[in-house]
Amino acid sequence: MVDQMRFREAMSRLAAAVNIVTTDGAAGRHGFTASAVCSVTADPPTLLVCMNRSLRAYESFAQNGVLAVNVLPGSDQDLSALFAGGAREMVERFASGKWRTLSTGSPILESAAVSFDCRISEMKDVGSHAVLFCEVLDAAWSTVPEALVYFRRGYHHLIDQPEA
């Protein structure tokens, strides 16, 4: 089996969208930055989100049972850093950006390229992380023509170039 350092170096070469994953409910409002998010199936519409179980927000996501995946545009790089741990208190994190809600009550970032409003249908522990299978109940998107990706331990901006 490959050692952790070699695995991490290899994974740094896998470009990934940068997302802020949020929840709100009886267990409180929380959010974190994640790049380990992907589509599972279109029938039923399902995403997976990987979350380190050592995050203080882990129990809130599990208890609330809902979340939103907010895919960031390049202009929200600073917000990504803030939700990755730049602010210790959640109130500081959510003070940045403009937020609204859809059906689950999870915070939806208005500037997001796309947001998925989800119910957590299953959680599976794998090593240090939990894999959250999330049934997509609603989606909202903007016309922003850019995306924020993480590649080789740095942020990069992708810009959609309209065909001439």
Digit-coded pLDDT (tens) for 118-145: 999 999 999 999 999 999 999 999 988 8
Confidence of residue 107 (pLDDT cuts 50, 70, 90): very high
Q: What is the pLDDT of residue 51?
A: 97
Identify the CATH class of 4-159. Answer: mainly beta
Digit-coded pLDDT (tens) for 29-78: 999 999 999 999 999 999 999 999 999 899 999 999 999 999 999 999 99
Q: What mean pLDDT value characterizes the chain?
A: 94
Residue 105 has pLDDT above 90, yes or no: yes
Q: What is the pLDDT of residue 88?
A: 75
Cβ-Cβ contacts under 8 Å for 143 (sequence gap 6 or more): none
Q: Which residues pair with 160 in a beta bridge?
A: none
Q: What is the pLDDT of residue 78?
A: 95
Token output for 142? 């903007």
Q: What is the pLDDT of residue 160?
A: 85
For tokens 């999870």, the residue is 106
Task: Show me where the domains of the chain are located.
Answer: 4-159
Read off the DSSP letter of residue 106. -
Read off the DSSP letter of residue 5. H
For tokens 């001439």, the residue is 164
Overall average pLDDT of the 11-37 stretch: 95
Distances 26 to 60, 66, 88, 106, 140 between C-alpha atoms, Å: 8, 11, 20, 11, 24
> Could you give the CA distance from residue 5 to residue 162 in angstroms, rounded to a whole number?
40
Q: Is the pTM of this model over 0.75?
A: yes
Confidence of residue 164 (pLDDT cuts 50, 70, 90): low
> Could you give the CA distance from residue 24 to residue 128 in angstroms, rounded to a whole number?
23
Lowest average pLDDT, out of 73-82, 87-96, 129-138, 155-164, goes to: 155-164
Residue 159 has pLDDT above 80, yes or no: yes
Read off the DSSP letter of residue 164. -
